[in-house]
Amino acid sequence: MPELRLDRITKQFKNKIAVDNVSLCLSEGVYGFLGANGAGKTTLLRMVCGVLKPTAGEIRCNGTKIGKLDGDYRCLLGYLPQDFGYYPDFTARRYLEYLAACKAVPRDLAREKVQEMLRLTGLSCDQRNKIKTFSGGMLRRLGIAQALLNDPEILILDEPTSGLDPKERIRFRNIISSLSKGRIIILSTHIVSDVEFIADEILLMKQGRIIEQGTVKEVTQNADGKVWEYLAGPDESLRLNETFSVSNLKNEGDKVRLRIVSDTCPCDGAVPVRPGLEDVYLYHFEEVSEHVDHLERRTL
Ligand SMILES: Nc1ncnc2c1ncn2[C@@H]1O[C@H](COP(=O)(O)OP(=O)(O)O)[C@@H](O)[C@H]1O
Ligand SMILES: [Mg+2]
């Protein structure tokens, strides 16, 4: 069973500190790195993969620096980068067979492994089709299939669900859950629901730092007393919406039920409710417009 230790990892690009003094210990389980765009997730994951050198700090796998392990470390690793490149004119099968060869998977084993991964990711029927005909969801599944070819003990997936529709998202989550035994799975996302149900541990990342870490239960418990519900009239609702972070709005007759994230009671009559991970996200990243878009869509 692998163990990864990050010891005071920092990455600086010119005068930008992308990852700031991060220390972590990861063993078997699914770790969900959650943060807004620019939080430093990709930079951190690239360092864990060994494709980017930290400015300071060390990463050790089972006690040895990953630079020293070199090829041995790569054998343990499966990586789906955020901007994954495909060969559009390859068929899915040829592409996976090609990558299996690149990863030095023995030839007779490779055929079998490719078929197994196609099955696992639901692409068996499409294996003879060219990749350029694939949907976004199929491409992402192919990305996972390639990351798994060498049966990695450490699987790193950077924004694996970007561009997927809700059904594909669920399918993807189920694939990840089915893989978690005996592995370290690290996945990054800015979408709360992607990690809420499958991550054993949530790591909230902001400005290069891990600002919260724990199970969903632990992380949400930290926000106890900061989430409120209130049934407001239309004018009142408008005013509260402008003043506070509102994580949900629901029309109820001529009134609006507001879910408000605030350190203190937002108004007379507001009652504290149990926080969810979305509330915690909003508490830390209220300036994120994508989240607001998401809320607006939900309330329509
Ligand atoms: N190669 C690079 N050169 C300069 N700045 C970079 C580079 N890569 C990332 N950054 C900066 O580091 C910060 C973190 O980026 P990134 O790790 O991509 O965040 P995330 O994946 O959470 O969106 C951003 O401000 C980004 O602009
Ligand atoms: Mg990123």
The full set of domains in the chain, from first to last, is: 4-221 (3.40.50.300), 227-273 (no CATH)
Q: Which atom of ligand 1 is nearest to the CA of 37?
A: 23
Q: How confident is residue 287, by pLDDT bands cut at 50, 70 and 90?
A: low
Q: Which atom of ligand 1 is nearest to the CA of 11?
A: 12
Residues with CB under 5 A from ligand 2 (ion): 41-42, 82
What's the half-sphere exposure (Cβ side, CA atoms, 13 Å) at 201?
17
pLDDT > 50? residue 291? no
- Which has more confidence, 129 or 197? 129
Token couple for 145: 């299939």
Residue with tokens 């035994």: 181
CB-CB contact of 281 with 196 (8 Å): no
Give the containing element (helix H, strand E) for 5: strand 4-13
Query: Which ligand number lies closest to the CA of residue 82?
Result: 2
**Interval 133-185: pLDDT, tens:** 999 889 989 999 999 999 999 999 999 888 788 888 888 888 888 888 899 99
Which of 41, 42, 285 has most ligand 1 atoms within 8 Å of its beta carbon, as the pocket-test mutant? 42
CB-CB contact of 46 with 29 (8 Å): no
Cα 86 to Cα 42, 99, 110, 234, 278, distances in angstroms? 19, 11, 19, 51, 33
Give the containing element (helix H, strand E) for 30: strand 29-34
Name the residue among 165, 168, 166 with its Cα closest to residue 144.
Answer: 168
User: Which pLDDT does position 292 carry in this prediction?
Assistant: 43
**Interval 211-239: pLDDT, tens:** 999 999 999 999 999 999 999 998 999 99
- Using DSSP's 3-state secondary structure scheme, residue 14 falls into coil
Q: How confident is residue 300, by pLDDT bands cut at 50, 70 and 90?
A: very low
Give the containing element (helix H, strand E) for 57: strand 56-61
Where helices occur in the chain by DSSP H, the ranges are 41-49, 66-69, 71-76, 92-102, 107-120, 136-148, 166-179, 192-196, 216-221, 234-243, 277-285, 289-299
**Interval 93-105: pLDDT, tens:** 999 999 999 888 8
Q: How confident is residue 33, by pLDDT bands cut at 50, 70 and 90?
A: very high
| Residues comprising the chain, all counted | 300
Q: In a 10 Å sphere around its CB, with 0-12 CB exposed, 13-18 middle and 19+ buried, how is residue 191 labelled?
A: middle
Give the containing element (helix H, strand E) for 58: strand 56-61
Ligand 2 center to residue 269 CA distance, Å?
41
- Strand ordering across the sheet containing 271-272: 245-252, 255-261, 227-232, 271-272
Determine the distance from the C-alpha atom of residue 241 to the mean position of all C-alpha atoms in its chain, rounded to a whole number: 29
Which DSSP string do the residues of 200-233 spell out, in sequence order? SEEEEEETTEEEEEE-HHHHHHTTTTSEEEEEE-
Residue with tokens 């005909």: 133
Which of 14, 15, 16, 188 has most ligand 1 atoms within 8 Å of its beta carbon, as the pocket-test mutant? 16
Query: Which ligand number lies closest to the CA of residue 204?
Result: 1
Ligand 1 center to residue 185 CA distance, Å?
22
- When pLDDT is averaged across residues 40-52 and rounded to a whole number, the result is 96
Q: Which atom of ligand 1 is nearest to the CA of 19?
A: 14
Ligand 1 center to residue 129 CA distance, Å?
35
Please report, as a single letter, which amino acid is at residue 86: Y
Ligand 2 center to residue 188 CA distance, Å?
7
**Residues with beta carbon inside 6 Å of ligand 1?**
13, 16, 18, 35, 37-43
Ligand 1 center to residue 297 CA distance, Å?
28
Ligand 1 center to residue 19 CA distance, Å?
9
Cα–Cα distance measured from residue 116 to residue 216, given in angstroms and rounded to the nearest whole number: 32
Cα–Cα distance measured from residue 282 to residue 279, given in angstroms and rounded to the nearest whole number: 5
User: Which pLDDT does position 146 carry in this prediction?
Assistant: 95
Name the residue among 21, 2, 14 with its Cα closest to residue 207.
Answer: 21
Q: Mean pLDDT score of the chain, rounded to an integer?
A: 91
Where helices occur in 77-183 by DSSP H, the ranges are 92-102, 107-120, 136-148, 166-179
Minimum mean pLDDT range among 66-70, 129-133, 200-204: 66-70
